[in-house]
């Protein structure tokens, strides 16, 4: 998994009634874009360091150079 600042991190729920979480990648700690990522969650506004698991995916966006 690789991300860049501004991408969306999506965490799919593993249980029926749990919501899907999504957040904006604010910081990438490695030059190659590998985890961990500093993410601001859309539902709470909380900012935290995330080590995504197998239930996560990154939605890439075009980034200005």
Per the structure, the count of domains in the chain is: 1
User: CB under 8 Å to 28, separation ≥6 — which residues?
Assistant: 3, 4, 5, 37, 38
> Is the peptide bond between 36 and the residue preceding it cis, with omega within 30 degrees of 0?
yes
Does 30 reside within a domain?
yes
pLDDT at position 65 is 58
CB 27 within 8 A of CB 40: no
Instruction: Look at residue 10 and give its three-state secondary structure.
Output: strand
pLDDT at position 15 is 80
Q: pLDDT tens digits, residue range 27-38? A: 999 999 999 999
Does 64 reside within a domain?
no
pLDDT at position 33 is 94
Does 65 reside within a domain?
no
pTM equals: 0.86
Does 2 reside within a domain?
no
Phi (first) and psi of residue 60, to 5 degrees: -85, 145
Q: pLDDT tens digits, residue range 36-55? A: 999 999 999 999 999 999 99
């Amino acid at each position: 998994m690789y991300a860049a600042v501004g991408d969306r991190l999506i965490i799919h729920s593993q249980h029926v009634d749990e919501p899907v979480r999504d957040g904006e990648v604010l910081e990438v700690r490695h030059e190659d874009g590998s985890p961990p990522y500093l993410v601001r969650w859309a539902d709470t506004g909380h900012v935290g360091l995330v080590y995504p698991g197998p239930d996560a995916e990154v939605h890439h966006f075009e980034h200005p150079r």
